[in-house]
Amino acid sequence: MPRVLPYGDHGLLLELGSLTEAQAAYRAVRALVAGGELPTPVDVVPGARTVLVAGLDRGAAPSWQAALGALRPDAAAPLPVESGVETVITVRYDGRDLAEVAAEWGCSTAAVVDRHLAAAFTVAFCGFAPGFAYCTADPPLPPVRRLAEPRRSVGAGSVALGGEFCGVYPRAMPGGWRLVGTTDAVLFDPDREPAALLRPGDHLRFTAGGRP
């Protein structure tokens, strides 16, 4: 049963039971905003189990509280058109942690690549850095342990696995996820419209290729 939790004077946090429910709830909340019957929030921020509705005027909180409390997100509902984008990212599977991931999954490195290529991904939420998207796989990939000690710098375009998620580092920064490959795709460019290549709700596939 979803719970609506207070988040200061201008925010409400909808808490769901699972990541899949949270993804469905994010789509439902976006649909509520697009419907225009409720006061427009400044931000709708999906999380791993939550959707944060923020920047509400004081008077707007009760109507949102009621609307969120009544949501029964259907994890099987079709995606709204605006988030039905499918992005394809070309990857060189040259990540230095491929062997560790293979060992953790109990398969060959080639099988890791095959499973990664076969999965359809959906952006669950963004965070950590502008344009860093936490993507879930269908069929799901086995969880991957993060590094005990994050690397001080992971290169821009590194394709990585962490926990139940896959992500691509938008720029060089510290990181503790397991690196499986690299891409030349530009994940975030503030001068581009849209700035973020991957947005919550977007679909994503990986394809193997690119210069060595």
Partner 1 sequence: MTFPGAAGLRVERTGPQLLVEDLGRPGLAHLGVPPSGALDRSALALANRLVGNPEGAAGLEALLGGCVLVAERSLRLAVTGASVGIRVDDRAMPWGQPVPVTAGARLELGPVGWPGLRCWLAVGGGIAVAPVLGSRSTDVLTGLGPAPVGIGDRLPVGDELGEVGSGSAVPDATRQPLVLDLAPGPRRDWLTDDALERLTAPGLRVMPASNRVALRLSGLEGLPARRTHELPSEGVLTGAVQLPPSGQPVVFLADHPVTGGYPVVGVVSEAGLRRCAQARPGDSVRFGLR
| CA–CA distance, 189 with 169 (Å, rounded to integer) | 13
Q: How far apart are the first and last CA of the chain?
A: 49
For partner 1, the closer CB: 145 or 199:
199
Report yes or no: 133 and 148 within 8 Å, Cβ to Cβ.
no
Place of tokens 């490959």: 181
Q: Which stretch binds partner 1 (CB under 8 A): 44-52, 73-81, 90-98, 146-154?
A: 44-52
- Regarding 73 and contact with partner 1 (CB under 8 A), the answer is no
Pick from 121, 132, 169, 177 the residue near partner 1 by CB under 8 A: 132
Pick from 52, 119, 168, 179 the residue near partner 1 by CB under 8 A: 52
- Regarding 128 and contact with partner 1 (CB under 8 A), the answer is yes
Report yes or no: 207 and 88 within 8 Å, Cβ to Cβ.
yes
- Regarding 130 and contact with partner 1 (CB under 8 A), the answer is yes
Q: Least distance (Å) from partner 1 to the CB of residue 141?
A: 17
- Regarding 125 and contact with partner 1 (CB under 8 A), the answer is yes
Pick from 25, 112, 126, 137 the residue near partner 1 by CB under 8 A: 126
Cβ-based neighbour number of residue 166 at 10 Å: 23
* Helices and strands (H and E) in the chain: how many: 4, 13
| CA–CA distance, 109 with 46 (Å, rounded to integer) | 33
Q: Least distance (Å) from partner 1 to the CB of residue 49?
A: 5
Q: Which of residues 189-208 bind partner 1 (CB under 8 A)?
A: 190-191, 195-196, 199-200
Quick one: tokens of 38?
Answer: 């409720």
Bridge partner residues of 51 (DSSP): 14, 46
What are the residues binding partner 1 (CB under 8 A)? Answer: 5-11, 13, 15, 19, 42-52, 54-55, 125-132, 134, 188, 190-191, 195-196, 199-200
